[in-house]
Amino acid sequence: MAPDETMTNVDETILFIDYSRCIGCESCESACRFIHGQARINMTRTVGGIMAPVYCRHCEAAACIKACPRGALQKGADGAVLLNPVLCAGCETKSCILACPFGGIFCTGLEDAVAKCDLCQRRRSVGMAPACVEMCPCGAMHLVTRREALALATPEYEAAHRKVMEHVRPVLAPLKRRDQE
Amino acid sequence: MPEPSATPMNFAFAGPGPARANGRSVAVIGAGPSGLAAAGFLACLGYRVDVYDKLPKPGGLMVFGIPAERIPAGRIAQGVETLANHYGVSFHPCTKVCDRRQVDDTGDEFSTRCIDLDELVRGHDAVMLATGSWKPRRLNVPGEDLRGVYTGLAFLFPIRAAQYDRSRMSEINVAGKNVVVIGAGFSAIDVAHGALGQGAARVSMLYRRTRREAPCGSHEIELFEAAGGQWLELVTPVSILGEHGQVEGIECIQCHLGEPDEDGRRRAVPDSCAKMVLPADIVVGAIGETASPPFAERLGLESVRKNEIHWLQMTQMEGVFVAGDALSGPSKIGKAVYSGLRAAQSLSRWLTLKGINREFEYREEPPITREDLR
C-alpha cells in the first residue's frame, strides 16, 4: 500500500506487512487457513524467488467494491472491506479479482467462489488479534491504523514492496505491432 | 527493534485465553514450529501440556537454524514465555525422547536427559511427536569425512547454540579462510552469508544447476554477490581433496542442463571431461536435511503418510500423533505450523470422543491430503 497523502480515514484499521522483514515462511497463510478453512492470505513467489504473502489492503476507495455488480463487497463500520457470500454470485468474470491492484481476492474453486480477508472480524469482536499477525515469527505483520502504517513504511519496506508488486501487477510493455517486427 | 504496534507472538492464537483445565495431559515432543503450534492449540482447550526438546531453548530450527537476522529470537522466546506463564505449559529443555537406540543428529550434544517414549505414553493421555528434520543429507562423494567438511546444519547450529553453552559448542572459525558452500537452498545461502559475516577471506557457492533453478531464488543470489560472494553454477563436486586428513580443495565437473525432472526443474547433467579443482579450507555441504523421527518403524510413519490409519495424523501407537517435518520431511515453517495445528485438533477430537466411547463414529474423517502437506 503506497501511503496516500490524500487519505482521509486515517483511523481506519488495516493489515500492514513489512515485506522487508518477511521471510516468506507461510505461517500467516497456515494460521489463516486453519481458522477460516480457506486461506485469505496467500503466498506468491516472484521470478527472482522472493516468497511473500499477498493480501487485501482494505483500500479507502476499493476498486473491488466498485467492480462487483451485486454489491457483495461492502465497507464495514471500521473501514474493512467485507465480502457477503450470500450476495456473491460467483460470477464467471470475477470482476473483483481483476479489479484488485494487490491480488488480495482469491478464487477458491469452491461453493464460495472467492475468499478475502475480513481482518478476522469474529476474532476481533472478542478482543483477539488476527490469526496471521499473532503467528508471524518475524514480527513483520501489523494490525494498525492507516496513520500508524505510514510510520512503518520504511525505505526498506518500500523497496521490498515494489519488488513484490512488480510481480503481482507487472507493468508490461505494449505488444509490438506486426508491421514493426 | 520493537515497534509500538507489534502484536506479540501467540502460539495459542486459536482461543481468547487460557481455558479451564480439562483434566487431560498431553506430551509434545519437539519445540519447533509444529510442536509449539500444537502445544498452543491444546493449551487453549485446557490441556496440561508438557513440551520436551533436546535443545536448551524452545524454538527448534526457528532459533537454532535460521539466522537471527531473519527471525528475531526474542519474538519466539516471548511467545514461549506466554505459553509457559499464561497457559501453564511446562517446557523440558535438553531432554531427548529415546528408543534406547542412539541416533546421531545435529543438536544431540545438548541432551542431558533421556526419556523413554513408553514412559511418556504411560504418563499422558496422548503424545504429539514433532521432532522435525535434523539429519543432514550427505554429499556422497569421496573425502566427505575430511576435517573442515561440514553439513549446513553443523555450520549454522553452533553460531546460535554457542550462545547457550560454550563448553559444549563453539562456532566454526572461518576468519581469513576460503569457504566453499555446496547447494543453493535457504540454508546454503544462510551459511554463505554467515561465513561472509564472520570474516571469511572468500566465500563461493557451488550449484549444479543455474540461478534460475536455485531454490533460494535469484534475488538471494544477487544479494550474496552484492555482499562480496562468488556464485558458481553448473558445477557439481565429484570428490573432496585433502592431505593429512584436512580438506584442501574440491574437484568439480562442469554440468549442463538437461531434460526437466519430476519437479519440473531441468536436471543437471555432468560433462565427464571438464574437471576443475577449487581450493578450499572449509567445505559446507548444505544440501538439505531429512526427517529423523525416532521409532519411525514402530510408529508406522509410512502408514500415516499413506493414510492407512483412519484417524488424522495418528500413528500405529494409539494416542501417539505425529506432525510437521517428522511426518512429511523438510518443509517450510508454515507447513509445519499447519500440520501441528491439524494434528492437535485431531488429537483433541480423539481424546474427547474416546472419553464418551464414540471414537469409532468419526474414524472415516477425510484424511489429510497431499495438498495439505505440500
Q: Give the pLDDT confidence of B287-304 residue by residue, as tens digits.
A: 988 887 777 788 888 888
Q: Three cell numbers at B259?
A: 531434460
| Residue B269: CATH number of its domain | 3.50.50.60
The torsion of the CA quartet B78, B81, B86, B92, rounded to 10 degrees, works out to 150
Pairwise CA distance, residues A109 & B269, whole Å? 39
Question: E strands along chain B, which residues?
Answer: 25-29, 48-52, 90-92, 95-98, 113-116, 126-129, 135-136, 149-151, 178-182, 202-207, 230-233, 235-243, 246-260, 266-279, 282-285, 289-290, 320-322
Domain that holds residue B244: 138-285
- Among A153-157, B139-143, B260-264, where is mean pLDDT lowest? B260-264
DSSP 3-state assignment of B146? Answer: coil
pLDDT of residue B4: 46
The larger pLDDT score, comparing residue B268 to residue A179, is at B268
Residues B49 and B84 in one domain: yes
pLDDT of residue B166: 63
Residues B281 and B294 in one domain: no
pLDDT tens track for B172-187: 899 999 999 999 999 9
| Beta-ladder partners of B48 | B25
Neighbour-count burial for A55-79, b at 16+ CB within 10 Å, e otherwise: bbbbbbebbbbebbeeebbebeebb
Q: Three cell numbers at B127?
A: 503424545
pLDDT of residue B229: 96
B3 touches chain A (CB under 8 A): yes
Q: Three cell numbers at B65?
A: 537454524
Residues B13 and A132: beta-carbon distance below 8 Å: no
Residues B189 and B252 in one domain: yes
What's the predicted TM-score (pTM) here?
Answer: 0.90
Name the pLDDT band for B106 (thresholds 50, 70, 90). Answer: low
Residues B156 and B256 in one domain: yes
pLDDT tens string, chain A, 181 residues long: the values are 444 556 678 899 999 999 999 999 999 999 999 999 999 999 999 988 999 999 999 999 999 999 999 999 999 988 999 999 999 988 888 999 999 999 999 999 888 899 999 999 999 999 999 999 999 999 999 999 999 999 999 999 999 999 999 999 888 777 777 776 5
Residues of A in contact with B9 (CB under 8 A): 134-137, 139
CATH classification number, A13-168, choose in 3.40.50.620, 3.30.70.20, 1.10.3720.10, 3.40.50.300: 3.30.70.20
| Contact across the interface for B33 and A137, Cβ inside 8 Å | yes
Residues B60 and B129 in one domain: yes
Neighbour-count burial for B49-77, b at 16+ CB within 10 Å, e otherwise: bbbbbbbbbbbbbbbbbbbeebbbbebbe
Residue B371 has a CB neighbour count (10 Å cut-off) of: 6
Domain-terminating residue out of B259, B285, B311 = B285
pLDDT tens track for B296-349: 788 888 888 777 777 888 888 889 999 999 988 889 999 999 999 999 999 999
Residues B93 and B53: beta-carbon distance below 8 Å: yes
Domain-terminating residue out of B250, B285, B320 = B285
Of B47, B33, B18, nearest to B345 (Cα)?
B47
Examine residue B270 and state whether it is found in any structural domain, yes or no: yes
Residues B209 and B258 in one domain: yes
Determine which of B44, B333, B335, B342 to mutate to test the interface with A (most A C-beta atoms within 10 Å).
Answer: B333
Q: How many residues does chain B have?
A: 374
Residues of B in contact with A26 (CB under 8 A): 332-335, 337
Neighbouring C-alpha atoms within 13 Å toward the C-beta of B268: 20
Percent of chain B with pLDDT over 90: 63
Examine residue B221 and state whether it is found in any structural domain, yes or no: yes
Residue B4 has a CB neighbour count (10 Å cut-off) of: 9
Examine residue B12 and state whether it is found in any structural domain, yes or no: no
Examine residue B14 and state whether it is found in any structural domain, yes or no: no
pLDDT of residue A174: 76
Name the pLDDT band for B371 (thresholds 50, 70, 90). Answer: low
Is residue B105 pLDDT above 80, yes or no? Answer: no
Residues B295 and B131: beta-carbon distance below 8 Å: no
| Contact across the interface for A128 and B5, Cβ inside 8 Å | no
pLDDT tens track for B48-92: 999 999 999 999 999 999 998 899 999 999 999 999 999 999 999
**B366 CA to chain A: closest CA distance, Å?**
14
Question: E strands along chain A, which residues?
Answer: 13-17, 42-45, 51-54, 73-75, 81-83, 105-107, 114-116, 141-145
Residues B164 and B277 in one domain: yes
| Contact across the interface for B75 and A139, Cβ inside 8 Å | yes
- The angle at the Cα of B224, spanning A160 to A166, to the nearest 5 degrees, equals 25
- Per-residue CA distances from B346 to B39, B124, B352, B359 (Å): 13, 16, 10, 11
Determine which of B71, B220, B369 to mutate to test the interface with A (most A C-beta atoms within 10 Å).
Answer: B71
Examine residue B19 and state whether it is found in any structural domain, yes or no: no
Residues B181 and B130 in one domain: no
pLDDT of residue B300: 84
| Contact across the interface for A48 and B218, Cβ inside 8 Å | yes
- Among B88-97, B138-147, B303-312, where is mean pLDDT lowest? B303-312
Instruction: Choose among B9, B11, B216: nearest Cβ to A49.
Output: B216
DSSP tally for chain B: helices H, then strands E: 12, 17
Interface confidence (ipTM) of the complex: 0.91
| Contact across the interface for B333 and A25, Cβ inside 8 Å | yes
**A164 CA to chain B: closest CA distance, Å?**
12
Name the pLDDT band for B368 (thresholds 50, 70, 90). Answer: low
B71 touches chain A (CB under 8 A): yes
Percent of chain B with pLDDT over 70: 91
Please tell me the total count of domains within chain B.
2
Examine residue B9 and state whether it is found in any structural domain, yes or no: no
Neighbour-count burial for B314-342, b at 16+ CB within 10 Å, e otherwise: bbbbebbbbbbbbbbebbbbbbbbbbbbb
B147 touches chain A (CB under 8 A): no
Domain-terminating residue out of B269, B285, B301 = B285
| Contact across the interface for A26 and B334, Cβ inside 8 Å | yes
Sign, CA torsion B357/B361/B363/B369: negative
pLDDT of residue B1: 39
Average pLDDT for B127-150: 92
Residues B303 and B248 in one domain: no
Instruction: Write out the residues of chain A at the interface with chain B, using a CB-CB cutoff of 8 A.
Output: 23-31, 33-35, 43, 45-51, 126-129, 131, 133-139, 141-144, 148, 152, 163
Under DSSP, the state recorded for B105 is: -
Residues B120 and B209 in one domain: no
Is residue B264 pLDDT above 90, yes or no? Answer: no
pLDDT of residue A7: 64
Pairwise CA distance, residues B37 & B87, whole Å? 13
